[in-house]
């Protein structure tokens, strides 16, 4: 069994929040907010990679029309 790690600052704040017995509607709003926040971060990181590699709409169209795409190959950049 692995050693217990201390809770992150986010986990600590969420525990405080969940201990206060908030209404289900508020909980749903918080879940949606968190999902949107982390989705936005993932999109930004993907956009940064997209820009770094110089991809364009034409790149995506080529990928969509390939029978054997090479972008998923472990040996490609």
- pLDDT (tens digit, 9 = 90+) per residue, 49-74? 999 999 999 998 888 888 776 666 55
What gap in Å lies between CA 19 and CA 13, rounded to an integer?
10
Q: How many CA atoms lie within 13 A of 30 on its CB side?
A: 10
What gap in Å lies between CA 52 and CA 46, rounded to an integer?
10
Residue 38, pLDDT above cutoff 60:
yes
What gap in Å lies between CA 9 and CA 14, rounded to an integer?
9
Greatest mean pLDDT among 13-17, 37-41, 55-59 lies in 37-41
């Amino acid at each position: 069994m692995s050693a217990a790690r201390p809770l992150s600052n986010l986990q600590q704040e969420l525990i405080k929040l969940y201990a206060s017995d908030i209404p289900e509607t508020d909980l749903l709003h918080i879940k949606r907010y968190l999902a949107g926040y982390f989705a936005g971060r993932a999109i930004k990181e993907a956009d940064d990679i997209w820009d770094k590699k110089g991809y364009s709409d034409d790149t995506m169209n080529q990928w969509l029309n390939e029978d054997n795409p090479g972008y998923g190959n472990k040996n490609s950049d």
